[in-house]
Amino acid sequence: MGIVEKIEEIEKEMARTQKNKATEYHLGLLKAKLAKYRAQLLEPDKKGPKGEGFDVMKSGDARVCMIGFPSVGKSTLLSKTTKTESVVGAYEFTTLTAIPGVLEYEGARVQLLDLPGIVQDAAKGRGRGRQVVSVAKTADLILLMIDATKSAEQKKMLEIELEAVGIRLNTKPPDVVFKPKAAGGVTITCTVKLTKTDERTLRSIMQNYKIHSADVMIREDISTDEFIDVLLGTRKYIPALTVINKIDGVSMETLDSMAREGDGRTIMISCEIDLGIDWLLEAIWAKLKLAVYFPLGCRVYTKRRGEQPDLSDPICLRQGATIETVCHGIHRGLASHFKYALVWGKSSKFNPQPQKVGLTHHVQDEDVVSIFTK
Ligand SMILES: Nc1nc2c(ncn2[C@@H]2O[C@H](COP(=O)(O)OP(=O)(O)OP(=O)(O)O)[C@@H](O)[C@H]2O)c(=O)[nH]1
Ligand SMILES: [K+]
Ligand SMILES: [Mg+2]
């Protein structure tokens, strides 16, 4: 049986299973299995064509990806807002690869990526969809592109495809620290009462993943799903804006109701009659600024030997930043003279004691770092 069939089988079983206290445990295990297979789906396709790249180099200060069904106007928007011309067509799947353009805004250069339209079940491997949604994983901001003249379900459908590849839109990672160990069994410490899952479920999920020793610190009332997210570590938490294009093609009434349904993250535009584009660019910029700083980013304090860290002046980094990123944040050439670093805080294995680490060590919010050079 292939992975797609296995996934379908589990989904069917979950649909058949009534949700109640007695089945909670079983459903938790099914969810864990499902997440495992979904992750496998994303592994690079060894049989697939090579070199037909979606491997566009990241450039500029941030990357924004446009995700939408065919012919919603993604290429039109790229051609309108950047110096890059991406072919526009009145037929579906005009764009077959990733086309980068550059948005310039207040001195920042932001890469805007035009991508092929996706189809439903893209994440399961239909069409080029999986490649497209996988590129979205590299984005600092995702634009969910919607055609105002088409189905109101588009946004929901796009969200489903992105979630299927492990992208969580507009949410913070759960406040859980998971540290695997070589021995000593599993210790779970909760600072809050768990109402959506229980320790027994969490323990059997870890067993399922053959994790026999680990320290788990839970500081938020998480669900079973959120725990699996932490365990797999493959989830990406990416901010998103909903962009409704072609509003020139709908009635005032429709426009009005769309405006009321939208949230603070919905922008309505028309590329055709040049409406709302400036507003969209401003919203992109505001959203990216937020993403770079708290709450989705992480702040690291630096400290010289023998001195106290300066807590008023953090280096603000993205999620997933390493000691190398910290070095670049201090000054360009620092990484090439790097010997080792000491880190205090959440990312230290020995917290509250410091850990000696190399360039690839991942820092966490509010860590204190001392860099030692050759
Ligand atoms: N009425 C109207 N038409 C638009 C607007 N923006 C784009 N279009 C038209 O929509 C059609 C599709 O535009 P594209 O930019 O090729 O759409 P796409 O999303 O890149 O499509 P694929 O690459 O095929 O996925 C073209 O005929 C555009 O001229 C708009 O604001 N209003
Ligand atoms: K098109
Ligand atoms: Mg296109």
List pLDDT tens digits, range 69-122. 989 999 999 999 999 999 898 887 788 789 999 998 766 678 999 998 887 777
Q: Which of 65, 35, 28 is nearest to 234 (CA)?
A: 35
One domain, residues 243 and 116: yes
Residue 150 lies in a domain: yes
Low-confidence winner among 193-202, 283-292, 364-373 (lowest mean pLDDT): 283-292
Domain boundary among 292, 320, 335: 292
One domain, residues 316 and 366: yes
Strands (E), 258-367: 266-268, 298-302, 315-317, 338-344, 355-357
- DSSP class of residue 363 equals P
Kindly give, in sequence order, each residue whose CB lies less than 8 Å from that of residue 60, ignoring residues fewer than 6 positions away: 102, 108, 109, 110, 111
Residue 45: the pLDDT is: 54
Burial group, residue 136, by CB count within 10 angstroms (0-12, 13-18, 19+) = buried
Q: Is the peptide bond before 239 cis (omega within 30 degrees of 0)?
A: no
- DSSP class of residue 250 equals S
Nearest protein CA to atom 30 of ligand 1, as residue: 246
Residue whose structure tokens are 């410490």: 189
Backbone φ and ψ for 237, nearest 5 degrees, come out as -105, 105
pLDDT tens-digit series, residues 79-93: 999 999 998 988 877
How far apart, in whole angstroms, are the C-alpha atoms of residue 240 and residue 223?
23
One domain, residues 154 and 74: yes
Backbone Cα Rg of the chain: 23
pLDDT tens-digit series, residues 310-348: 777 777 776 678 899 889 878 878 999 999 999 999 999
CB 301 within 8 A of CB 309: yes
pLDDT tens-digit series, residues 159-198: 999 988 889 999 888 889 898 899 999 999 999 999 999 9
How far apart, in whole angstroms, are the C-alpha atoms of residue 298 and residue 363?
8
303 close to ligand 1 (CB < 6 Angstrom): no
One domain, residues 79 and 146: yes
Residue 246 lies in a domain: yes
One domain, residues 97 and 160: yes
Residues comprising the chain, all counted: 374
Could you identify the atom of ligand 1 that is nearest to the CA of residue 93? 24
How far apart, in whole angstroms, are the C-alpha atoms of residue 130 and residue 118?
9
Domains: count for the chain: 3
Q: How confident is the model at residue 126 (pLDDT cuts 50, 70, 90)?
A: low
The answer to whether residue 296 scores a pLDDT higher than 70 is no
How far apart, in whole angstroms, are the C-alpha atoms of residue 374 and residue 204?
47
How far apart, in whole angstroms, are the C-alpha atoms of residue 303 and residue 354?
12
Residue whose structure tokens are 């669900």: 223
CA atoms within 13 A on the CB side of 192: 13
In Å, what is the CA distance from 135 to each residue of 42, 128, 235, 237? 11, 11, 14, 14
93 close to ligand 1 (CB < 6 Angstrom): yes
127 close to ligand 1 (CB < 6 Angstrom): no
How far apart, in whole angstroms, are the C-alpha atoms of residue 226 and residue 215?
17
Helix (H) or strand (E) holding 238: strand 236-238
One domain, residues 244 and 332: no
The answer to whether residue 374 scores a pLDDT higher than 50 is yes
Nearest protein CA to atom 2 of ligand 1, as residue: 246
CB 140 within 8 A of CB 64: yes
Nearest protein CA to atom 26 of ligand 1, as residue: 90
One domain, residues 243 and 316: no
Mean pLDDT of the chain: 86
**Ligand index nearest the alpha carbon of residue 77:** 1
One domain, residues 325 and 305: yes
Residue 276 lies in a domain: yes
Containing structural domain, residue 163: 62-171+236-292
> pTM (2 decimals)?
0.68
75 close to ligand 1 (CB < 6 Angstrom): yes
129 close to ligand 1 (CB < 6 Angstrom): no
248 close to ligand 1 (CB < 6 Angstrom): yes
Tokens encoding 192: 């809050």
Any bridge partners for residue 102, and if so which? Answer: 111
CB 361 within 8 A of CB 325: no
How far apart, in whole angstroms, are the C-alpha atoms of residue 346 and residue 301?
13
Instruction: Please give the biggest Cα pair distance in the chain.
Output: 68
Nearest protein CA to atom 8 of ligand 1, as residue: 73
One domain, residues 208 and 282: no
325 close to ligand 1 (CB < 6 Angstrom): no
